[in-house]
Amino acid sequence: MKFDRNTVIGFLMLAALFIGYFYYTSEGQRKAQKEAREKFVKDSTAHAATLPKKDTAMMRRDSITFDSLNKLAKAGQFQTAANGNEQLLVAENDLMRITFSNKGGQVRKVELKNFKDQDSAQVKLAGRGFDKFSYTINTGPNNTAQTADLYFQPGTAIKNPDGSTTVTFILGSRDTTSNSSITHTYKIKKDDYLIDFSAELIGADKLLTQGNMNLTWQYTVAQQESSLSFEKENTQIGYIEGGSFDYHTIGRRSDVNFDEAVNWIGVRQRFFFSTVVAKNPTFASGKIEWTQPDTPKTIALSTANMKLQLPVASNARADFNLYYGPSDYHILKKYDQKFEKLVNLGQGMYAFVRPLNKFVVMPIFDFMQGFVNNYGLAIALLTLFIRLLISPLTYSSYLSGAKMKALRPEIAKLKEKYGSDQQQMSMEQMKLFREAGVNPLGGCIPALLQIPIFFSLYTFFNSEIGLRGTSFLWAKDLSAFDDVIKFGVNVPLLGNHLSLFTITAVLTSFLISVYSMSMTPDQSNPIMKWLPYIFPVFLLFIFNRMPSALTWYYTVSNIITLALQFVIQTYIIDHDKILAKIEQNRKKPKTKSKWQERMEQMQEQQKKMKEMQQKNKR
């Protein structure tokens, strides 16, 4: 079919008419619907005004009565536990203070005695209204209830000869075997963050369906550190499923389904850890999900729905461990439950630094800290040890730099000879380095070695709880940035403060760049020429939100680098001997490495291609 211009114009006009028609009719329908809604609201309001006003107080009473009757219906055989007054019981050891509630016979709040929050009060875990530990029971025909909604008998606390405390809550009566009852028993051990918990069910074959205990653990991840955003980045869900450990950062997904047996599930904030361990039996399956609400001082709300398979018998018991305490590698490791794997000493793409932290950084840091009893000085000594450890490579780097400096006059002559021919200049420069026995990449090895060390210390200082709340010089908390300079407003890429340790790290990095550039040949590439001076500026934006411990380490490391450069270049390296050595190397027969041969072949090919392109243009 052949289309002429008039046909095309006709189709376009028809299309415009159709579009206009549909727009007009849809707009008319929307207008009619809007008018109808407004009329309905107006008529409803007018009708409501003619109705007799309801007694709000009576409505509240009716609502309370309905809720009470509903609770009684759900409670079934435990009707006496449907309503009551919440009574709290406090038990403690040298490390924590646990508040229990008879409503649900559960932990209401845990206060850690050795740790302070941002308000200088004791750190509180599991202390929000959202938090609960509950499971479903059958209370009668077609009736179920959550144990967290039932009032147990007032709890009792017994001090044991070994220094532990046993807390007991009972639901129902244990006087006769005909009645069902539930007993929650907690054991708080001396000098321990791990709590033993057992749920003993008499009449379990009636209370549970086919022995299935459907447990719900709700936990509020409350803010404990100064930076909410940084704490969110360092909050994770961890678990052991099928005998293997796994974890997820809360910002990267929102739930996990479990198909295999689960030993424990836990939530690790940056410095604190809460977990539920199913000892006997383990969790058969379940799911944990979490949300990040936009509410003050709340990082996340997690809900775990887990299933345990108990024996189908008249009596049954489930045993658990509850941990509320610091995310301390040494403390968690002693429980032999793989809790310590959740401590971030290197995870994900940084997992390669975990062995370095476990077997080098952590033991040395612990020794240094025990030796000087000061975390700031321990970091300085750790830095000095690391620099001494890599000093042989550092020396070879500076020696390479000194050789490069000695060749400066000859490199300058090559620039005059070849001018703007960068390719020929590069080839001649490589030839010069080979004749003189100089490796132009010799100074890169220590810099590359610093990369895993930096990432290792980055993860270590982010997870080392000993730094939390520890002051040093002007920094009030080595685990957080020092905000000595406050702007009062949020500056893009920088935040609302300027860290003084960041400034010292940036300035010392700049001095290293200046000194290093003075030791290397002049760069004809302007980008390479200015890059060493630009890099410290980037550090300003990267380091400003980092822990003071890290920026203090970087400052000390830079100071040591400057000192080593000065001493080695001034007192150890003899520049006259270097020149003499270069002349001797020139006289020796040269053998090319395979890398040098490939490099020269590639440069030669590029040169020929360039010459051919120039001929074609002519």
Neighbouring-strand partners of residue 606: none
Half-sphere exposure of 280 (CA within 13 A, CB side): 8
pLDDT at 546: 86
Distances (CA, A) of 236 to 128, 267, 293, 469: 19, 6, 16, 22
Cβ–Cβ under 8 Å, residues 498 and 487: yes
How far from the centroid of its chain's Cα atoms is residue 413's Cα?
A: 54
Cβ–Cβ under 8 Å, residues 92 and 107: no
Structure tokens at 596: 């040098």
Q: Where are the alpha helices (DSSP H) in 336-421?
A: 354-356, 362-372, 375-389, 391-406, 408-418
Half-sphere exposure of 562 (CA within 13 A, CB side): 16
Full-model pTM: 0.75
Neighbouring-strand partners of residue 183: 170, 200
pLDDT at 186: 96
- pLDDT tens per residue, range 24-58: 444 554 554 455 556 555 655 565 556 555 555 65
Question: Which of 17-21, 321-325, 574-578 shows the lowest per-residue confidence on average (mean pLDDT)?
Answer: 17-21
Q: What is the mean pLDDT of residues 186-192?
A: 93
Structure tokens at 302: 């997690």
Collapse the DSSP code of 380 into the 3-class scheme (helix H, G, I; strand E, B; otherwise coil) and give the result.
helix
Half-sphere exposure of 286 (CA within 13 A, CB side): 28
pLDDT at 610: 67
Neighbouring-strand partners of residue 209: 212
Burial class of residue 550, CB neighbours in 10 A (0-12, 13-18, 19+)? buried
Mean pLDDT taken over the chain = 80
- pLDDT tens per residue, range 139-185: 888 888 899 999 999 999 999 999 999 999 999 876 544 578 999 99
DSSP state letter for 357: I
Neighbouring-strand partners of residue 188: 165, 195
DSSP state letter for 546: S
- pLDDT tens per residue, range 576-613: 666 666 666 656 665 555 555 666 666 666 666 766 76
Following DSSP, what letter does each residue of 523-545 receive, concatenated?
A: PSSHHHHHHHHHHHHHHHHHHTT
Distances (CA, A) of 171 to 49, 150, 316, 321, 354: 50, 8, 15, 21, 47
Collapse the DSSP code of 204 into the 3-class scheme (helix H, G, I; strand E, B; otherwise coil) and give the result.
helix
Q: What is the mean pLDDT of residues 92-97?
A: 93
- pLDDT tens per residue, range 477-508: 898 888 888 887 778 877 788 889 999 988 98
Structure tokens at 585: 């190397």
pLDDT at 299: 92
Triad 558, 562, 565: Cα angle to 5°: 135
Residue 136 has pLDDT above 80, yes or no: yes
Cβ–Cβ under 8 Å, residues 366 and 373: no
3-state SS, one letter per residue, for 207-231: HCECCEEEEEEEEEEECCCCCHHHH
Query: Residue 16: CB partners within 8 Å, gap ≥ 6?
Result: none
pLDDT at 219: 95
